[in-house]
Amino acid sequence: MFNEAVIKEIDEIRVKYPDRKSALLPALYIAQREFGWLSNEAMSCVSETLNLPEAFVRGTASFYSMFRHKEVGRHLIQLCTNVSCMILGAERLIDFLNTKYGIQKNGTSEDGRFSLVEMECIGACGTAPAMLVDTDFYEDLTEENIVGILEQYK
């Protein structure tokens, strides 16, 4: 079960909606923050707190790509490879991260430091290629500057 502070946080969100189902996405985000990913336990906690069937919680959670269904590294690199980023070199960056840090596309480095997820457009096409590291935006990426950026994440 979630601790009391988390339950209170979810209760505060619930009042913004006319029914309890509608607090599901926010509650899943909170569960993901608490557990690092949406483990069975995390989803059970959501189901219990919102009093929704587990199957419903799982069904919704599985639809959205930002909910994680396996454990990820300490830092999540979300690199866009959609067209605007692709034509300005995003794929080279994916290869580079593979060689430099040993992270495969949609995989995690051996030391558990980074996970790499290939993203669809993240709304930074004018400063492509772009990525999110955890919740921070980085734009105009090159093989040179990406190393310096990632060094800030231990």
Partner 1 sequence: MEKFLLRNIDNPNSSDIKEYIKAGGYKNLSRAVGMGQDDVMEEINKSGLRGRGGAGFPTAMKWKFAKADPKFPKYLICNADEGEPGTFKDRPILEKNPHLLIEGMVISGYVLGAEFGYIYLRGEYPAARDILDAAIAQAYKDNFLGDNILGKGIKFHLSVHQGAGAYICGEETALIESIEGKKGQPRTKPPFPVNVGAWDMPTIVNNVETLSNLPLLIEIGGEAYAKIGSEECPGPKLFCVSGHVENPGVYELPMGISLKDIIYEHCGGIKDNAKLKAVIPGGISTPVLPADSIDCAMDFVAMPKAGSMLGSGAVIVMDESVCMVKVTYRALRFFEHESCGKCVPCREGTDWLRKILERIEHGKGRKGDIELLSDVAGVMYGRTFCPLGDGAAGVVLAMIKHFRNEFEEHINTKKCKY
Residues of this chain that interact with ligand FES (CB under 6 A) are 80, 82-85, 121-125, 128, 130
Smallest separation, CB 131 to partner 1 (Å): 11
Using rule CB under 8 A, residue 23 touches partner 1: yes
> Strand pairing of 136-138 and 131-133?
antiparallel
Q: Are the C-beta atoms of 81 and 106 separated by less than 8 Å?
A: no
What x/- string results for residues 79 through 98 when contact with partner 1 is judged by CB under 8 A? Answer: --xxxx-xxx----------
Side chain identity, residue 48: E
Using rule CB under 8 A, residue 28 touches partner 1: yes
150 binds, among ligand FES, partner 1, none (CB under 5 to 8 A by kind): none
- How many other C-beta atoms lie within 10 A of the C-beta of residue 100? 13
Q: Total residues contacting partner 1 (rule CB under 8 A)?
A: 41
Smallest separation, CB 79 to partner 1 (Å): 12
- Specify the residue, 34 or 139, whose C-beta has the smaller distance to ligand FES: 139
Q: What are phi and psi of 11, to 5 degrees?
A: -60, -40
In the chain, DSSP finds a helix count (H) and a strand count (E) of 7, 4
- Specify the residue, 103 or 133, whose C-beta has the smaller distance to partner 1: 133
What is the b/e burial string over 26-64, where b = at least 16 CB atoms within 10 angstroms of the residue's CB?
Answer: bbbebbbeebeebbeebbebbbebbebeeeebbebbeee
> Could you say which of 7, 25, 72, 149 contacts partner 1 (CB under 8 A)?
25
Contacting residues toward partner 1, per CB under 8 A: 16-19, 21-26, 28-29, 52, 59-60, 63-67, 78, 81-84, 86-88, 119-128, 132, 135, 137
